[in-house]
Amino acid sequence: MYRYEGLLIHESHDDEGIIEVIERKGVRSLHFGSHPRQSSMLLTDPYKLELEYVQAMTSWLLFKPTLDDDVLIVGLGGGSLTKHLLHHFPDCRLKAVEYRKSVVKIARSHFGLPLDSRLKIIVDDGGDYVRQHAEPYREHYSLLFIDAFDHEGMASSICNEAFFDACKALLKKSGILVINLWGGTNNPEFQQVSQWIARVFDWQTLFLPVRDRGNIIALAFNEYSPVFSVKELRTHALALEQHYQIDFPAFLKDFKKHNASTFNQVIKP
């Protein structure tokens, strides 16, 4: 059976709705009953980040040279970002929170999410989990990734300022929040969420529109001290591009283009 211009290889249902796995032109994708892809994997290179917005979520590497401690991921999906971190950073420890147990099963069975002692998966509402653990895990995480969407849009439990207060509390002083937002700068939900993030993180924020897509990746820095100058970042971006086969120089160019008022807060003069 064909769906979304591809071959349907799995279909199941849970309390939240439909889960579909589609293959098209050597790419396997996760869908939640609608055309947008929740996750994608290149079958011949399962650790490569296939979707442009997930590649853009690696832009934190421009600002944090190493990763050897704890990371929290809210929204597992097919596990692309989680696999990327496990593959490239052997000393990191990951905790991933996913609302749908059936999605975790699909990530394991169809998208190659490994069983790994460095990865703990928690089935819970991501917004509730973050708020409930803000105090017991205060200043615990170096990175916090948020990619929590259903078939209708961003999960409602993360659309409030208290959630971002809790995110800030969970992050180490040098920590970075990386969040996938949707809808473009004219979208009211994006405008509201971006205001919350900017206010909570004292305007130490950068927004990265994904080229030719509706996604915007936001980076928020927790009491961040700039590490690199623009010149150093350009050199760093070229090295990252060569290592990961991801266009980090374009990320740097777009950060500078779209963040005139905040760029100099996270870059050394």
- Environment class of 19 (CB within 10 Å of its CB; exposed 0-12, middle 13-18, buried 19+): buried
Tell me whether residue 120 is in a domain. yes
The mean pLDDT value of the chain amounts to: 94
For 190-235, write each residue's pLDDT tens digit: 889 999 999 999 999 999 999 988 899 999 999 988 889 999 999 9
Check whether 152 has a pLDDT greater than 90. Answer: no
What's the pLDDT band for 139 if we cut at 50, 70, 90?
very high
> Region 175-189: what's the mean pLDDT?
85
Residue 208, CA atoms < 13 Å, CB-side half-sphere: 27
Lowest-confidence segment of 5-19, 85-99, 215-229 by average pLDDT? 215-229
Tell me whether residue 62 is in a domain. yes
User: Which residues, listed in sequence order, are joined to residue 13 by a DSSP beta bridge?
Assistant: 18
Q: Are 172 and 93 in contact (CB under 8 A)?
A: no
What's the pLDDT band for 66 if we cut at 50, 70, 90?
confident
Tell me whether residue 32 is in a domain. no
Tell me whether residue 240 is in a domain. yes
Tell me whether residue 119 is in a domain. yes
Tell me whether residue 221 is in a domain. yes
Tell me whether residue 130 is in a domain. yes
pLDDT of residue 197: 96
> Region 146-166: what's the mean pLDDT?
82
* CATH, residue 135: 3.40.50.150
Domain of residue 168 covers 46-266
Is the pTM above the cut of 0.85? yes
Backbone angles phi, psi at 99, to 5 degrees: -70, -30
Tell me whether residue 12 is in a domain. no
> Region 122-128: what's the mean pLDDT?
96
> Region 177-202: what's the mean pLDDT?
88
Lowest-confidence segment of 70-79, 126-135, 259-268 by average pLDDT? 259-268
Check whether 185 has a pLDDT greater than 70. Answer: no
Q: Are 229 and 269 in contact (CB under 8 A)?
A: yes
Classified as helix, coil or strand, 147 is coil
Q: Are 208 and 215 in contact (CB under 8 A)?
A: no
End-to-end CA distance of the chain: 57
pLDDT of residue 69: 95
* Domain total of the chain: 1
Check whether 184 has a pLDDT greater than 70. Answer: no
User: Which residues, listed in sequence order, are joined to residue 38 by a DSSP beta bridge?
Assistant: none
Helices (H) and strands (E) in the chain, counts: 9, 12
